[in-house]
């Protein structure tokens, strides 16, 4: 008689998935608020859509992932920071249009489900959600045998926020003479990791456990520095009318992200050495003999968010944000960013 085949024989452990789901429910509940109308496990997450304090509410949505930063998590065995990275970068992506986050959903896919690893990832996600006043409304955990290498996974995040139409930040009023202010990053954030891994592990021959004096920490610790959220710093200014434009410095660096918010007929000049460049970037540039332009279009170079404002508002913004550097000016031009 042929032995009965189960889903577990094909590599999918439903019991492990159920254990992970129970832990996820407990963690997600710590992010719930009075507008949360459903539990984790529902087919769809429900959220109260009434906005009585906004005249014309506009929903702003975004989706993103943390890229090959995951390879550092795999190598170090640290999985509780990746989720926070994911939430923070998604928060920043809608923040640039003036939106405050409402709720977040995640997608995690892996070859063989480990409840402990999944719980660690969700722990980071819920920490990020609580820090940003955002509800973890739902998500999906997919076990896909044979699709991912043992111990590896992928994560993606989806966020929805809201802004009053009159307070949308869209860059349309940016004009020559405006100031560029930069808020520092904590490191690579979630971009440029393919090149960073090549430099540290192939070119320099380091491992994640190698302590680098110039960095004051191990390679793994430096590369796992959290992608910062700028909601706390910028929140008090969103309704002030002082911010003309915001650029989240992710893939493409300063050279390719700033032009995304510039109106026709404008360009930007960035002053070299007008902010502290983290030692991490200096180590990588030296290791790979990388051209300056390549560094600035691959990495954030120590600036995680750029604010564009009128000359007269720069001092007010710098008084509100503890660390904020004047890094350049808006000029006339064809949308390019020039280093001077």
Helix (H) or strand (E) holding 28: helix 14-29
Instruction: Give residue 22's pLDDT.
Output: 80
d(CA 178, CA 268): 9
Instruction: Give residue 41's pLDDT.
Output: 81
3-state secondary structure of 121: helix
Instruction: Give residue 6's pLDDT.
Output: 56
Instruction: Give residue 317's pLDDT.
Output: 96
Q: Which residues contact 102 (CB under 8 A, 6 or more apart)?
A: 35, 47, 134, 135, 160, 161, 162
Instruction: Give residue 21's pLDDT.
Output: 74
State pLDDT tens for residues 239-256. Answer: 999 999 999 999 999 999
Residues in the chain: 340
State pLDDT tens for residues 188-236. Answer: 999 999 999 999 999 999 999 999 999 999 999 999 999 999 999 999 9
Instruction: Give residue 24's pLDDT.
Output: 84
How big is the CA angle at 147 (ends 69 and 114), to the nearest 5 degrees?
A: 70
Please list the ranges in the chain whose pLDDT falls under 70. Answer: 1-18
Helix (H) or strand (E) holding 14: helix 14-29
d(CA 170, CA 95): 11
Q: Which domains does the chain have, with CATH numbers?
A: 7-167 (3.30.1330.10), 179-339 (3.90.650.10)
Q: Strand 217-218 relative to strand 179-184: parallel, antiparallel, unpaired? A: unpaired
How far the first Cα of the chain sits from its last, in Å, is 78
Q: Which residues contact 258 (CB under 8 A, 6 or more apart)?
A: 180, 247, 268, 306, 337
> What are the distances in angstroms from CA 31 to CA 127, 139, 289?
8, 14, 45
Instruction: Give residue 18's pLDDT.
Output: 65
């Amino acid at each position: 008689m042929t032995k009965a085949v189960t889903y577990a024989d094909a590599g999918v452990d439903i019991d492990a998935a159920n254990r992970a789901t129970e832990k996820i429910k407990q963690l997600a509940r710590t992010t719930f608020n009075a507008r949360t109308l459903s539990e984790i496990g529902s087919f769809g997450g429900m959220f109260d859509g009434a906005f009585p304090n906004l005249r014309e509410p506009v929903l702003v949505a975004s989706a993103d992932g943390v890229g090959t930063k995951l390879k550092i998590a795999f190598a170090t065995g640290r999985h509780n920071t990746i989720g926070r990275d994911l939430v923070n970068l998604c928060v920043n992506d809608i923040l640039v249009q003036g939106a405050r986050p409402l709720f977040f959903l995640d997608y995690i896919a892996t070859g063989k489900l480990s409840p402990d690893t999944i719980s660690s990832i969700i722990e980071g996600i819920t920490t990020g959600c609580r820090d940003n006043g955002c509800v973890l409304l739902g998500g999906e955990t997919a076990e896909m045998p044979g699709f991912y290498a043992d111990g590896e996974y992928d994560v993606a995040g989806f966020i929805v926020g809201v802004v009053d139409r009159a307070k949308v930040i869209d860059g349309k009023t940016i004009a020559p003479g405006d100031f560029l202010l930069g808020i520092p990053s904590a490191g690579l954030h979630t971009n440029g990791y393919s090149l960073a891994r090549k430099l540290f592990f192939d070119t320099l021959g380091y491992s994640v456990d190698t302590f680098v004096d110039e960095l004051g920490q191990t390679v793994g610790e430096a590369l796992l520095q959290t992608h910062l959220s700028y909601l706390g710093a910028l929140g008090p200014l969103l309704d002030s009318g002082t911010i003309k434009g915001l650029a989240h410095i992710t893939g493409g660096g300063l050279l390719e992200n700033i032009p995304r918010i510039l109106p026709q007929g404008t360009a930007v000049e960035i002053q070299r050495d007008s902010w502290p460049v983290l030692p991490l970037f200096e180590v990588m540039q030296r290791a790979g003999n990388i051209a300056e332009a390549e560094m600035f279009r691959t990495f954030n170079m120590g600036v995680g968010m750029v604010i564009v404002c009128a000359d007269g508002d720069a001092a007010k913004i710098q008084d509100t944000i503890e660390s904020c550097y004047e890094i350049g000016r808006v000029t006339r031009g064809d949308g390019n960013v020039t280093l001077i």
